[in-house]
Structure 1
Amino acid sequence: MRAAIVGGGWAGLAAAVELARSGAQVTLFEAARQLGGRARSVETHGQRLDNGQHLLIGAYRETLELMKDVGADPRQLLKRLPLELNFPAGKNNHFRMRLPRLPAPWHLAAGLLGARGVGFAEKIGAVRFMRFLQGVRYRLDADCTVSALLDRHHQHGLLRRYLWEALCLAALNTAPEQASAQIFVNTLRDTLGGGRAATDLLLPATDLEQVFPAAAARFIVAHGGKIRLATRIESIESIDDNFELAGERFDYVVVAVGPQHAAPLLAGQPATAESARLLAGYRFEPIATVYCGYPPQLRLPFPMLGLAAQNGGQIGQWVFDRGMLCGTPGVIAFVLSGHGAWEKLDKPTLVAQLDSELSAALCTRLPAIEWQQVIREQRATFSCRPGLHRPAARTARNGLWLAGDYVCADYPATLEAAVRSGLAAARGILLESRS
């Protein structure tokens, strides 16, 4: 059985690994000169960085298992830390919530009740909100926005801002006023509502290529697969029951590219024209990662900090110390998710404002920035809104499958969703080929 994978992101790599280890003849086509898709590595200013500062969590079960399968040891490549939301905002305004290493659900209760910078009434309200979600088994009667759900359950004040809204923006990359409450609740189910280890932060201790794509590529080739970089697939031709791509014939095809790229490929097949129209209508959210090279003595108090905007003019969200994570002292990564005022700022203004906000949050004057790199992904993720229709992995054209985070209907646009979708497509093909 010959299978073509279109797209070398984490979804396409997951599908290729699963098919290759099951004996299929796999050819993976990637338009770029490197693998990884939207979670890839770049080189700049003598540094090996990433196109975005990604993080994983303990609930990423399929991703962690697949890493181990291809020889990428999560214990060496990921720095595991208990979930800590740390928002320093000056001398007298510091929110911090850390989940202790206790059995679930006591770790969550202890973390909420022990949170600093927030009143007791808010803590009890947050506990009640989680108990409600547990009582309805994390299924809402009808989808709505995250903001509407929080309003309905009287989640206000600092916990709303630093916990619920911060988690929503980080996980869904969509503002709470527009984000799907059901998808957000799904993420709470598998993290805060899961086992203690599910909430752990897994921060890459190296560049993203080494976390999974490089090992996956070696695995695919070792199992007889082929990887063709810098090869863009413009169309998928049907020939009888087979497909033709780049002059080769295949029994199965997995389209594992973003919605905007999948739509024209699907439009060429009459059976999938409706799916193409669906994906062509998707909206997207941006992400910017602002790398700043400070002198190597600069060190943040924690590998990941939140920047708590104190007024409408502030833009900071998250900041990562790559020196603590990746052994590159002085390299600081600011991450900005979803549409916002930051999009209108040019590079010098954006860098200067984030530097100023971090300085104010830490109550210290930072050393001068030695170099800077701004990476903007205008279509980083699909906009995860209420009632968004998601396509199935199996299309209406026999042998043609979809993979990508937008296909994994229970999850937002995350690495885990991408991996799960790739595995689901591959396993569906294997099952179909044996029937």
Structure 2
Amino acid sequence: MTARQHAQHLLDFIDKSPSPWHAVASIETASKAFQFVRLDETAKWHLQPGGRYYVIRDDSSIVLFVLGHKMPSESGFKIVGAHTDSPGLRIRPHTATASDGLARLGVEIYGGPILATFTDRDLSLAGRISYVDDRERLAHKLVRFERPLLRLPNLAIHMNRGVNEDGLKLHKQNELPLLLAQLTGEQLPQPYFLTLLEQGAGIGVSQVLSWDLAVYDTQKGAFWGANQEFYANSQIDNLASCHAGLQALLDDTVLSHAESTLACAFFDHEEVGSESHIGAAGSFLTDVLERISIATSSDREDTQRALAQSFLISADMAHAYQPNFPSAYDADHKVFVNKGPVIKANASRRYSSESISIARFIRWCEDAGVPYQRYSHRSDLPCGSTIGPIASAKLGIRSVDIGCPMWAMHSIRESAGVLDHDYMIRVLKRFFMA
């Protein structure tokens, strides 16, 4: 594919994946086209050299792997890690209220979104519903409302005269409920909302028990710029990294020449700290790697031997220089859109990179003919983090934190560069082939 085609494929992937649960479903569909077989964590695993497998935990975290022709104890694991979740708004359990004839949905903030960017957008709902099926069994189902369903209208400047000087500030409890509908007659807000769920999911109101519902922007991804060299969409952080890792793994050359065991681990809950049974701080990846070792060797020591030779690339996004705000960046560590993947370093270990892992990534970039950049956050600003330090510490393996440069991280509408996504796929392929 060309760089433009890779970027279009990414936009299509994001547009099909408005929630972490949908993202994993999209990844599963793509992997099945390459003969990947789903493994059940409750069953005994029988793995074959060269076999292609994946494991899903709780619908929103997934580990895919290709079993190399060499034993893991002899060649280790090569892992690309990323996350399926993005900052935003989530729907509360008792969500619907009425105010002056208008039905509103109450929301909680998930992670650290730029709240002002959620105003005046064509919003809708996507996620997972848990219910009782017709045979009285617990079941769950993905749901997505395609049409604009919700809105957070801005207060007119006539009532908020200082908005352009002071910035838009939204009270998290009182000013974030989303407008849903104009109620008529004796309609009550919560039954009205449940009826909408029934229509959208095809599940009777009396069957619905609970839900995990995210608010998403219905506007599709698009290219922009005079030369269409940029792209914009929601959830670029971090579905772009998931997509790049997946495309690298699903490359025919990579799949057919896998000597080491290759893996992509895409976790939910990174934006809220990763502390869950499906997050990077949980046991998911450790469990999968241990079971691969057990399935391929009777020697329990081989798991540790494999991990001692393993490497993790933590792929998240990076802060591209925005010339309107020069004071937000360290002058010696500006990184630019369409200038290549960014190697992220932080002395306080907010990123997992260190000199040896950085040097190895630089070599893979050079081998792939891909430019690279180096980033360090301003010392007087708090630095974000990734799954890299968490997964690296839990597994005891070397890791590097990298990512494509982007603008407006955690906005509902983020931007990045077309060339960078292609560069990332190329260097991740080289990593898998090394």
Fold-level similarity (TM above 0.5): no
> What interval of TM-score do these two structures reach, taking the shorter chain for normalisation?
under 0.3
Q: TM-score, normalised by structure 2?
A: 0.24
Higher strand fraction: Structure 1 or Structure 2? 2
Higher helix fraction: Structure 1 or Structure 2? 1
